[in-house]
Amino acid sequence: MWRELFTRATTISGVSNHRQQVSTHGLRRVASAVALLACAVFRPPAEAALQTATAGAEPASIKPASIEIDAGKVEGRLSPLLYGQFAEFMFENIKGGLHAEMIRNRGFEEAPNATGLSRYWERYPDDRNDDYGLSFGWDETTAYPNTKKSEGVAGGHSLRAQLGPGVIARHGVYQSRAPAKQGVEYHGYLWLKAEEFKGGVTVALEADMTGGEIYAEAEVENVGGDWRKYEFTLRPVKSDPLARLAILFHGQGRLWVDQVSLMPGDAVDGVRADVFEKVKALRPAFIRWPGGNVAQDYHWQWGVGPRDERATWINLSWKNEPEPSDFGTDEFIRFCRNVGAEPSITVNVEGRGATVEEAAAWVEYCNAPSTSKYGAMRAGNGHAEPYGVKYWEIGNEIWGDWVRGHSDATTYARNYNRYVAAMRAVDPSIKFIAVGDNDMKWNRAVLRLAGRDIDHLAIHHYYSHRETQGDLRNLMARPLRYERFYGEVEQAIQELAPGRPIKLAINEWGLDLPETQQYSILAALYGARLMNVFERRGDLIGMSSVSDLVNGWPGGIIQASRHGVFVTPIYLVNQLYATRFGAERLAVKVDGPTFDSGREGHGVPVLDVVVSRSADGEKIFIKAVNTDQVKSLMTRISVSGPRVSSRAVTESVTAESLSAASSFAAPEAVSIKRDEIKAGNNFVIELPRHSVSVITLSVDR
């Protein structure tokens, strides 16, 4: 995963490394270029984009183009793993985004404020008055479980409440941002220790305002004694996206609270129902986890075993954010199976104390029979049968000094060989993904020393608004630079690992653009052209995934807040390409206008096309990207070979303008439009300006 603010300023072979700071030479160009960049920076992004795109352009019109398909000529086969997804522990990518748990800091592990309340917890009903009948403490001596602290873990705390005589009857703690939906049951629990307490506890979903409406309430029965789990169910009578959960105490004495949980009843094995629906619609071939950069921080045993006994750990990659372990190995694999994806696990290589033995033990936990040590651990956690995880990535971006375990290429290759040998000894059938780079020196060293044991070489691509230099033509042309780079990598594979069928895994790619552009049609055009490159180089590229699946940064293709979800234009392209996926790539000749870009090349085709055919031969998919931001393309399509039906379906990712951007308020600003058209072996179609279109032809039998 990218290091924030692009701390590594390097551009190698014309291909930028992963979310790094772009080289600063562009900022020292001549005054005219500086002025252009300044316009892009200080002008509102949508306005800047529009003016840059139309500067010097002719009035809007239609240009001619042609697509000639030879359906009798198969030029390559596409990997069934080509389109996957990527999830990592990064802010609310997992917690709050993918995972359905509604309570943040549910173990009270974060440092308290002056009133003794840990982060996200507040005094109920509010802070207006002195409530001398109730005081709080952040207890480091009493907790459930009584976790011993270890490096990287923040465990062993609870909330202590001291109750005495007072004048405020309804008091306790609450947490905001717990949305309530009428018709959904909410299943919750909390752990209490109440050896010195006489009274009761009430939990409620209510409006997030003093004296607000109560939507649901439940009494916690028979409170007393040592640590015990108390379960409750809340059935709100009203929906409120801004509700809060209140835990109310009545009585006198001292009690402790820990491990509070509230889950919506419509969650799918612990995953938010709305997010699950969006992920499943993508039909991901695989899902990569737990990172990303954070893979080099993560120890897998943090995330197995009884949920409430797992550690809260410090996420060194993302601003030291405390990370709950609610979503661990078992939950991840179950999620993958539920959406029909293969799990792809990234192991920690020498980061934060990681070892070869730890990686091999993870393989054993996932794939070994229950008679083995870690297979027995898995069985004890409720999963007697091995999971059979096939894809294992050995570290993440080890070349970057922002990850723990950072090293040079030679050291990494030697470590790779050690990890592969140990992991393969547990399960000889697994496939390995090695860390590659946009730097060919790194790739050549790794291939030379470890190529015999590499199945996929992982390379990451991120393109920044800095690199566009205020010229959107650079953005539209950039994917073709990567296509040329893949040729260099292919030559190195053939030279340094001859006979070894190594594929590329472009398992992180994305854009660092202002939100108004990230969520506009511009991002869709870039993403679709890059995915067309993946299909054209399907002989070499075996896996790909955009960064990220849910939240994490503006590039997350599913943006999920507490109250709702919207999907980005790159999500729409992913959905369209994955659901209209052909097994064979067909020969195609494309003719049309070109453009010149400031730094990404000249004579760049405006129209980018790739054509594939379904495995059963009954469908032909034409994926056409019109990058012209002003003009439509009147396109003549001809198909030689089989007889094509007279009717076809078009699905286009479009927007009314370049400045239209999807958001929670306008989730359909960029959307997929579906239509039926006249087709046959020869037909004409207008490809709208700035659009991504998939034309599905049916082959008559």
Task: Give the catalytic positions in this structure.
Answer: 397, 508
Give the Cβ contact number of residue 666 at 10 Å.
Answer: 12
**The two structure tokens encoding residue 381:** 């956690």
H or E element that contains 576:
helix 569-579
Beta bridge partners of 344: 288, 391
Other Cβ atoms within 10 Å of 634 Cβ, number: 15
Strands (E), 208-366: 214-220, 225-234, 243-264, 286-289, 313-315, 321-323, 342-347
Half-sphere exposure of residue 443, counting CA atoms within 13 Å on the CB side? 28
Which DSSP helix (H) or strand (E) runs through 560? Answer: strand 558-560
Range 122-158 burial, b when 16+ CB lie within 10 A, else e:
bbbbeeeeebebbebbbbeebbbbebeeeebbbbbbb
565's CB contacts (< 8 A; 6+ apart) are 274, 275, 278, 558, 559
2: DSSP letter: P
3-state secondary structure (DSSP) of residue 305? coil
d(CA 543, CA 546): 11
Cα-based torsion angle of the residue sequence 107, 113, 119, 120 in order, rounded to the nearest 10 degrees: 110
Q: Are strands 503-512 and 541-545 parallel, antiparallel or unpaired?
A: parallel
Decide: helix, strand or coil at residue 100. coil
Q: Tell me the CB-side half-sphere exposure of residue 689, using CA atoms within 13 A.
A: 15
| Distance separating alpha carbons of residues 684 and 662, to the nearest angstrom | 31
Sequential DSSP letters for 489-552: HHHHHHHHSTT---EEEEEEEEEE--HHHHTBHHHHHHHHHHHHHHHHTTTTEEEEE-S-SBSS
Residue 682 structure tokens: 């020869």
